[in-house]
Amino acid sequence: MKLKNRRWIVVFFAGLLSLSVLSITGCQEEPEPEPEAKPVVLTIDTTDPQAFVRHIVGEYLVITDQLVSQYQHFKAAKDTQGFILYRNNHWTPTYIDSKRSYEKTLFNQKAYIYRQQLNGLFDLFFELQKLSILLKHSLLKEDWGLEEQAMSRIAKDRLLMMKYLKAEDVGKGVFRSSTDS
């Protein structure tokens, strides 16, 4: 009789242990994966395409200002890794979000964009990531010729972007930047 009671006690405690483990692990809510941020799809208003032009040019000028000023800051501090970390962790994610948004706009309104000859805005914006890579490599390799090449291309592209603005837009404070002098 003792043997049967021991079996029941072992089975009872094993069952109790199993239930407690299941209740602990089964009741925990698994964190839901964060939904990927969907890029905002901008639409070019065909009655006022200049509003979109002002938006993309303004954003281009701001992000190139950020890139160039941080590059110069980290170069002066001789902190190559600091610039790489800034570029990889702060600048590039912001740029990629904007780029995805503009890619969707280009996809959705490609015919209108090409008819209005606005595709150059997109081309210049999409090339900016390559220029940021050139700046990174110029610091890594201490190649100041590469730096000059990237900086002159950024300056040239900024001027090309601003050519898309109408005359009344150019004087507005939104588009003035620290590198426009």
Flag whether 91 is in a domain. yes
- Residues 103 and 108: their CA atoms lie apart, in Å, by 9
Which pLDDT belongs to residue 176?
39
Flag whether 16 is in a domain. no
Number of domains in the chain: 1
Whole-angstrom CA distances from 141 to 80, 90, 161 are 10, 22, 30
- Residues 40 and 56: their CA atoms lie apart, in Å, by 13
- pLDDT, averaged in runs of 10, over the chain (181 residues): 60 57 53 55 88 95 97 96 97 97 96 94 96 96 96 96 75 42 40
- Residues 42 and 22: their CA atoms lie apart, in Å, by 49
Flag whether 9 is in a domain. no
pTM of the model: 0.71
Flag whether 78 is in a domain. yes
